[in-house]
Amino acid sequence: MVSRITIAIAAALVAFAAQSASAQGPGVEGVWSNPKGSVQVKTGTCGDKLCGVVVYASQKAQADAKKAGAEPLIGTTLLRGYRANGTAEWAGQVYVPDRKASYYSTIQLVDAQTLKVSGCILGGLICKSQLWHRVPSGGAMATR
């Protein structure tokens, strides 16, 4: 016989899983372009977290990364280990290839077409943000 406590725990786990799935759902998943249109990142789930991988980089962006000694830009995971921090906010690490370093980061879904990506140093005392825009049709393509 299943106890009421077991049922309550199972119900709580199902509710938590549904909340996590909706927080990382299709609203934030897709392909996003940085402000210059030089890099596009495909976001999606990586296990129970959110991540983003470079699917397009302009020749200049690739050359700049190579000049800095970074690995090939396309295929690099820039957004790493993000967990839902609210209904449209996530916290994780942003990897900066030309610095070969990861920084504390938040992303916020501003609207269906705009993603605010912030990276911070010194324990969050200094942060820089960019507005990324959704690539039409959800596919990687050059925007500029």
pLDDT digits (tens, 9 = 90+) for 58-80: 999 999 999 988 889 999 999 99
For residue 11, is pLDDT > 90? Answer: no
Question: 115 to each of 13, 37, 89, 134, 144, how far by Cα in Å?
Answer: 29, 14, 10, 8, 19
pLDDT band at 140; cut points 50, 70, 90: low
Proportion of the chain above pLDDT 70, given as a percent: 77
Greater model confidence, 120 or 26? 120
Name the class of domain 4-138: mainly beta
Helix (H) or strand (E) holding 59: helix 59-67
Mean pLDDT of the chain: 80
Tokens at 120, concatenated: 């911070």
For residue 130, is pLDDT > 70? Answer: yes
pLDDT digits (tens, 9 = 90+) for 82-127: 999 888 999 999 999 988 899 999 999 999 999 999 999 987 789 9
Torsion of CA 84, 23, 13, 104, to 10 degrees: -10
